[in-house]
Each structure stands twice: as structure tokens, then as C-alpha cells.
Amino acid sequence: MVHNSNILLYLPPAQADGIKLRTMVASVVVRENIVIVCNMEKLFRVLSQPMHGIAAAIILVSTYQELLELQKFKDMILRIPTILILPDQNRDTITKGFVLRPRFLTYADSDFSDVRDVFRKIISKVNFPGINRAYA
């Protein structure tokens, strides 16, 4: 049996929100268990592996166009608990975000404390082995 042992973190490259989110995730789980991807091609490769070992995902979407691109991975995303962070609160953006059925949906202008709390609950429910004990 393959154990889910990694957290997938999808971040736009070199963006302040991405750095803040990466720091938050690393405060909850050990860095060795974080798979960071910064483009759709790599996201597809990680998600399409049959035994990808992903326990949960946090996806930070930087644009509406990127969200539309993400729709192509819907079936793969539905298999794992996902936190989705949208770029804005536009009605169309929110509607497209809910199509991916995230466990939690928020916006890039948040302080991510709510993301941290939900993330901790998700990993506790999936019996994630890589919890960062220094911050637990």
C-alpha cells in the first residue's frame, strides 16, 4: 500500500503571496514533504502519476486565465483534499473555483491564517506523517 506522504503546493513563481504561503505550509509540515510546482505542465505530471503520493493540495491561482487552465485537471484534483486560493472575488472566478470542489476556498488578499487552520485539519484527517513537530 502506498502512503500519501507529500503536500502539493502550486504557486505562481516569484510572487509575494507565494512566498508567504510557502512559509506557512513549511511551518505546518516538514519541507521534505512539500512538492512545489510553479507551472501547469509540472502540475499535470505530478497529478497524473497513478501513485503520486499526494495527501493534500494547496493551489494559489494568480489569474482567471490560470483558473480556466486548472479546469483541465478537475478529475485529478477531485481525488485529493484541496485548498483553493483565488486571485479575486469576481462572481465568475468564484463559480469556476467551486467547480473544482475545494475543501476550502479563499482569496489571495487573505492573511492565510484561515488557510493554515484548515490545512492543519485536513492533514490531521489524512494521518499525514510529515507534521512539523517544531511548530505543532
For residue 60, how far is the Cα from the chain centroid? 7
Q: What does the pLDDT read at residue 74?
A: 93
Instruction: Give CA torsion, residues 46, 127, 99, 21, to 10 deg.
Output: -70
CATH class of 6-125: alpha beta
- Residue 136 CA to residue 133 CA, distance in Å, equals 5
Domain ranges of the chain: 6-125
Per-residue pLDDT at 13 exceeds 80 = no
| pLDDT > 90 in the chain, percent | 46
- 64-76 pLDDT, tens per residue? 999 999 999 999 9
Q: How confident is the model at residue 109 (pLDDT cuts 50, 70, 90)?
A: confident
- 129 pLDDT exceeds 60? no
**pLDDT score for 32:** 80
Residue 24 vs residues 18, 42, 70, 126: alpha-carbon distances, Å: 10, 22, 23, 19
pTM: 0.86
- Looking at residue 89, its amino acid is Q
